[in-house]
Amino acid sequence: MKILHINTFNQTGGAETIAYCLLKSNGENRMLVKESFQNDEQIQTFPKNLIDLFFYFLIKLFENLV
């Protein structure tokens, strides 16, 4: 199963560390992050001009769910 993990960072805290471990558990997984602290082919960073737009969209989406 291919999984795309979306996170702010790739490995700085508890949630990021777990997401990174899940990423590494399968070679087909990918991670999309705002900022990356490692050079890893499975990890892609957002282009800087799309970061704010994407996270604004997520915030509005979650506000409507609550």
5-42 per-position pLDDT tens digit? 888 887 777 888 888 888 888 888 888 888 888 888 88
H-run or E-run covering 30: strand 30-35
Q: What does the pLDDT average to over 42-66?
A: 77
> Residues, the chain, total?
66
Quote the pLDDT of residue 3: 84
Which strands form 4-9's sheet, in the order they lie side by side?
A: 4-9, 30-35, 43-45
Quote the pLDDT of residue 34: 80
Confidence grade of residue 66 (pLDDT, cut at 50, 70, 90): low
